[in-house]
């Protein structure tokens, strides 16, 4: 028989957590204008490329996203922080280094991140990304080395040196961000914005409930969404709507620059892999690249205010994105032996979620940037 006091404490903790998350994210929901003036760029400051850190688990679509960011004059990539996800860290780290070398940008620092989720066994996706993370395509071993700092240390240092000026584009499991925010609770308010490729308001891809990045480390995802950072979620709701065509792959393969050609080789091998595995109906999707593209050109996607919670306790639904779009925000009904119940909470958005995309325009933008 369940302990009634334990059940009651659990319900009270759930209510407290929801209230805390709402309080932390009030400034984020109101947008950048509501942030403390001290952490936003000074009025009259020179306008230039937007400064970003890419937190990533390369990964075939991560490669497209990294190449897109490097070939976009609107962006200045300050660092790459690999994390375990699509493949283990001992592959995502050298993959990040070799992708930068292919693009001729080995000047960008790369810092090793988390090798495993906060609380769970690592689950990878070699069935899509191949045993080496790049669909089995072999590139030379990288000559450059990662910096001595950890990913969370590098993120903290760059953000704190320029509060309100650096955005994070997170296209892997959110373990690195969760660790950085845990170590420095003020950091979310100092980050200009966080764009996340992850989650879904309409079902998952690794389970019926969960999208892969949120499934790999749901505790980290929950911590980031409750951090108070200004978050945009680019989830499966939109990334599933844009698949690369055979013609677009051929355009990449015939690109006049090394990054474009490398992207073509990776995408060709990935297409063969997803067709063999029956993943995504044999369609070639560019999930992570859409996060970068929509950061550059927000008009590519339609957004909606949401309050996002990540399921961390469900046996069958771990990693599920629960997106509230209006009040009340209800939790599960209490068990019969529970004492009391958590009250419904008022709707308080903590993110904007992309709910639609101009898929043709996104793909055209992506291919033309990579082809050059």
Residues with a catalytic annotation lie at 287
Question: 10 Å Cβ neighbour count for 71?
Answer: 19
Contact 192, 100 (CB under 8 A): no
Strand-pairing partners, residue 357, are 301
Helix, strand, coil percentages for the chain (3-state, nearest 5): 45, 15, 40
Where does 278-353 have alpha helices with state H? 287-296
Q: Which of 214, 232, 226, 245 is nearest to 355 (CA)?
A: 232
Strands 75-82 and 231-234: unpaired
Question: 256 to each of 74, 140, 169, 193, 364, how far by Cα in Å?
Answer: 21, 19, 27, 34, 17
Go through the chain and tell me how many residues it has: 372
The Cα–Cα gap between 260 and 214 comes to 29
Strand, coil or helix: 76? strand
Residue 297 exposed, middle or buried by CB count within 10 Å (0-12, 13-18, 19+): middle
């Amino acid at each position: 028989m369940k302990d009634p006091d334990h059940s009651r404490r659990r319900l009270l903790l759930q209510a407290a957590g929801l209230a805390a998350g709402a309080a932390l994210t009030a400034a984020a929901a109101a947008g950048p204008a509501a942030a403390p003036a001290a952490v936003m760029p000074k009025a009259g400051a020179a306008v230039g490329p937007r400064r970003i850190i890419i937190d990533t688990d390369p990964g075939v679509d991560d490669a497209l996203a990294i190449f897109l960011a490097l070939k976009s004059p609107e962006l200045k990539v300050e660092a790459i922080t690999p994390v375990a996800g699509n493949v283990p860290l001992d592959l995502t780290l050298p993959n990040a280094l070799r992708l930068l070398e292919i693009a001729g940008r080995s000047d960008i620092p790369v810092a090793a991140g988390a090798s495993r989720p906060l609380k769970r066994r690592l689950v990878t996706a070699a069935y899509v990304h191949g045993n080496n993370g790049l669909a089995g395509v072999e590139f030379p071993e990288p000559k450059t080395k990662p910096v001595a700092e950890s990913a969370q240390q590098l993120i903290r240092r760059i953000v704190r040196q320029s509060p309100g000026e650096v955005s994070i584009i997170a296209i892997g499991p959110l373990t690195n961000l969760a660790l950085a925010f845990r170590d420095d609770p003020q950091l979310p308010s100092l980050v200009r914005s966080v764009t996340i490729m992850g989650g879904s308001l309409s079902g998952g891809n690794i389970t019926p409930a969960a999208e892969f990045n949120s499934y790999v480390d749901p505790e980290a995802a929950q911590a980031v969404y409750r951090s108070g950072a200004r978050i945009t979620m680019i989830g499966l709701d939109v990334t599933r709507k844009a698949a690369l065509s055979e013609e677009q792959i051929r355009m990449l393969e015939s690109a006049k620059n090394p990054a474009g050609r490398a992207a073509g080789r990776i995408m060709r091998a990935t297409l063969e892999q997803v067709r063999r595995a029956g993943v995504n109906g044999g369609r070639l999707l560019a999930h992570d690249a859409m996060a970068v593209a929509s950061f550059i050109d927000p008009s590519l996607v339609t957004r909606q205010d949401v309050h996002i919670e990540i399921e961390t306790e469900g046996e069958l639904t771990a990693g599920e994105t629960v997106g509230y779009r209006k009040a009340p925000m209800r939790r599960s009904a209490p068990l019969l032996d529970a004492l009391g119940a958590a009250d419904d909470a008022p709707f308080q958005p903590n993110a904007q979620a992309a709910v639609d995309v101009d898929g043709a325009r996104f793909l055209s933008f992506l291919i033309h940037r990579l082809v050059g």
